[in-house]
Amino acid sequence: MPEQAKEREVEEKRLSLATAVTLTMCQSNTLQGPELHTGKWLQFPQLALRRRLGQLSCMSRPALKLRSWPLTILYYLLPFGALKPLTRVGWRPMSRVALYKSVPTRLLSRAWGRLNQVELPTWLRKPVYSLYIWTFGVNMKEAAVEDLHHYRNLSEFFRRKLKPQARPVCGVHSVISPSDGKILNFGQVKNCEVEQVKGVTYSLESFLGPRISTEEMHFSQAPPGNSFQQQLVTKEGNELYHCVIYLAPGDYHCFHSPTDWTVSHRRHFPGSLMSVNPGVARWIKELFCHNERVVLTGDWKHGFFSLTAVGATNVGSIRIYFDQDLHTNSPSYSKGSYNDFSFISNNNKEGIPMRKGEHLGEFNLGSTIVLIFEAPKDFKFNLKAGQKIRFGEALGSL
């Protein structure tokens, strides 16, 4: 008899729990009404969901991120708000920006780099390169070697050289474009903020890092109370200017010296490798400050001058021809860290002199070049935002 009573008690508990779950589902359907009629097949018992979400909230942050990641992808991809009922029981999807930032772009870029180094069979080279040429509109008539069979792997094809006459260097204007690409933004730097695309800015100090010592830069000491922007301007009456050039995958991937200047210092920021496509640049504030980049600073005839090569997805490798110690896209790094290297030493007190148009470096795919420099107030850009430009063409002059 006692055993039968216990069985009866257990059965009653099961029935009461089932009744509670059924009532909860009915209430959920009643409250939602026609709003989610297209997703009724995904109506879950809310008690079970709350219990599961409670378990997730007790997990460590990395584990929770890993569990939430695929569900968030489905939340944004499935039609008709199919997973919207989950938000009514306490679950919140990651934001689109946070979701994109969680993608292992550095790992993907290293894998892409390895793939680029694989030597292709001779018979496969022409169809593979022809597909790339057709997709991104590459003009192979400008290449120093037009024969596609000459390029052993994708890396050699991306870094192809041009015929000498393909990019004449403008001798009249003082600053030329260092690469092929698209002008995203240009103008004077204001309030220590620089526009990566129209309406979206980033901090000048976050982008360049702390000011380099005046001993290395040959600059006069600025008063300590001045802003970071004012400390970079070394001559009275000058202003600070910037220009952002986006290199698409089909563009010529090498970059050159934009003027006659001396490189005194290199600063390497390890970081993310998110896409620098203009659409993404509008979406993520301070994108260029998050991404891996190599900042070259020095001086030209009007004062401070810098050129920054910004990495991107599948562009983990940034190469500077005269800097053999630079290694980008390392497997591990400390967030917010940077590595400094001075080109001014006992044997070379003048830094690295660069002539206008001289080869400076290369990317493995498309990316972005940012110029920040000091010039007199009458400096004028000869550009329009969004225009295509080629290496050697004028950016501006006095």
Selected catalytic residue, list 174, 264, 272, 367 = 367
Selected catalytic residue, list 68, 109, 174, 180 = 180
DSSP 190-224: BTTEEEEETTEEEEHHHHH-SPPPHHHHTPPPPPT
Give exposure, 52-75, as e/b (b: 16+ Cβ within 10 Å): eeeeeeeeeeeeeeeebeeebeeb
Q: Where are the beta strands (DSSP E) in the chain?
A: 175-176, 181-188, 193-197, 200-203, 238-246, 254-256, 261-269, 293-300, 303-310, 318-320, 339-342, 352-354, 359-363, 368-376, 380-381, 388-389, 394-397
DSSP state of 387: -
- Using alpha carbons only, give the angle 192, 197, 199 rounded to the nearest 5 degrees: 70
Nearest to 368 by CA among 246, 258, 254: 246
**175 touches 394 (CB < 8 A):** yes
**136 touches 342 (CB < 8 A):** no
Report the C-alpha gap between 171 and 157 in whole angstroms: 30
* Backbone dihedral angles phi then psi of residue 136, each to the nearest 5 degrees: -110, 5
Selected catalytic residue, list 242, 253, 256, 268 = 256
Is residue 37 among the annotated active site residues? no
- Using alpha carbons only, give the angle 325, 331, 337 rounded to the nearest 5 degrees: 65
| Secondary structure percentages of the chain, helix, strand, coil, to 5 | 40, 25, 40
The residue whose two tokens read 């590595």 is 339
Is residue 28 among the annotated active site residues? no
The residue whose two tokens read 């200017």 is 241
Is residue 256 among the annotated active site residues? yes
Sign of the Cα torsion 80, 86, 88, 91 reads: negative
**377 touches 240 (CB < 8 A):** no
Report the C-alpha gap between 306 and 292 in whole angstroms: 16
Residues noted as catalytic: 180, 256, 367
